[in-house]
Structure 1
């Protein structure tokens, strides 16, 4: 748990009219990052500042409703505990079974993936292939590692970082050191261009077939990000690999949940 744990000491906050506290500002920024702050269009910055407390309360309510928590619009222990867990950096969009948009899928059944950059841990190639196989077990997609001309580009990045295809161009997401954002991924491109998966280089990655306390299992995170790269949104089902927050699950005999299988087959059809 990162700095967000300090919020637990201030669940009942006193606000002055039109302003929010520094701690509430941190919560606001997290909710905004994950897609829970909805601003009116054509609103001036001064109006936005005055209405920030209202936007915060609505954002908290949306977050609570999304995860079946009591909807109070106030920060409580369960809300802040879930909000502060290490997780995927993609925004939460729970159109999990609506992801059959033809612009959100690969047109080819043969998808090439590659590892890029000057760093990746020993054993990563085998972990990545295993993660891709988790999805190909249920749909007619075939994944192959290549050295160049990949459809899905994978790299370990730190802090504010560039994209793989053009390191001078900044990635819209950024990493925050150990914990917090673990990884993020593109969705399939409407023009069928190559897309990217970024993993936080500063995490204490677990490369084993276990879930070690204090470490983050690389295989589980990569299965999740590949789900995005194939077109899936986040799921609010706790047993889904597409749940946005990292969970400690047994991976020795890991399988997708029925919700995951149904969602990916809705896009690509059943495996033959």
Structure 2
């Protein structure tokens, strides 16, 4: 989730966590080729049907593997070689979102038909982090600010509720935590979310969740990751646009904004914000 300023564009929007392809971090680890194959399958670059067909022989056709690697390289904006080269294996080792990159309609699909049928959405935290140094108020405030990023660009409004039934449910958990996508320990998959109208957003409690400059040096910024996951919860898939909040991998930013592409896509689902700024021309003339 790589985040860059998009200064010239008037619709300055947020870009979270996952930055796709603004160069690669030479200090990151590399996956082995065996781990990379598992990665391609986990994030749906290798079609499940193809994987099952190869099981009796135990041999995956080379052309299929090269095609899957090429899809990954296209998503991450790195040279398309179809090989497990160093840059590819480094990109695969970056911390990221657990949502699959490739949908049935292809790796660059941005959003589908799954949307919330209403504009006022409620949310709650059903399980706070038990490992973070952030207290419950700080965790809740990070979520509120992450929802606000999307609210500023759409007619959507988000309300925190303590009641039993809400539209979105947020919780922290580790390893097997009550769904079909167990977390994999520190520094790998950070969080995942479901598309509308399921409303489940989960964060790995084995990660070191912090905020601001401290997160840049010592852990992962909860606010940034939450903003990305809420994009999924509202109906967006992963993006291969540079600087998009909805890119798959995590990168810290001290100035979190929505990328122009994310703004257009979320407004394609819900329309523009009805909020209008007051005329400040009188002030500018002073």
For this structure pair, what is the TM-score category when the shorter chain's length is used for normalisation? 0.7 to 0.9
Cα distance, 1:213 vs structure 2: 1.7
Length, aligned pairs only:
237
Q: What SS class does the counterpart of residue 180 from structure 2 fall into?
A: strand
What is the rounded CA distance, in whole Å, between the counterparts of 2:245 and 2:200 in structure 1?
Answer: 19
The answer to whether the Cα contact below 8 Å between 2:30 and 2:90 also exists between their aligned partners in 1 is: no
The answer to whether the Cα contact below 8 Å between 1:210 and 1:250 also exists between their aligned partners in 2 is: no
- Structure 1: unaligned runs, 5 residues or longer: 8-22, 163-170
Q: Are 1:156 and 2:172 matched, yes or no?
A: yes
Residues 32-59 of structure 1, C-alpha deviation per residue, up to 9 Å, x if partnerless?
A: 1111112438836314x12265543332
Out of 201, 225, 241, the residue aligned to residue 197 of structure 1 is 201
Normalising by structure 1, we get a TM-score of 0.80
- Structure 2: unaligned runs, 5 residues or longer: 1-24, 275-286
Root mean square deviation of aligned Cα: 2.2
Out of 98, 103, 111, the residue aligned to residue 89 of structure 1 is 98
Q: Are 1:187 and 2:195 matched, yes or no?
A: yes
What is the rounded CA distance, in whole Å, between the counterparts of 2:143 and 2:199 in structure 1?
Answer: 16
1:1-272 equivalence runs, <5 A: 5=29, 7=31, 23-38=32-47, 39-40=49-50, 43=53, 45-47=55-57, 49-51=58-60, 53-93=62-102, 94-97=107-110, 99-101=111-113, 104-117=114-127, 119=129, 121-122=134-135, 123-147=138-162, 148-162=164-178, 171-189=179-197, 194-208=198-212, 211-251=215-255, 254-272=256-274
Q: What SS class does the counterpart of residue 127 from structure 2 fall into?
A: coil
The answer to whether the Cα contact below 8 Å between 2:75 and 2:239 also exists between their aligned partners in 1 is: no
Normalising by structure 2, we get a TM-score of 0.76
What is the rounded CA distance, in whole Å, between the counterparts of 2:207 and 2:51 in structure 1?
Answer: 37
What is the rounded CA distance, in whole Å, between the counterparts of 2:52 and 2:148 in structure 1?
Answer: 46
Change (3 A) 1:40 1:142: same
Q: What SS class does the counterpart of residue 116 from structure 1 fall into?
A: strand
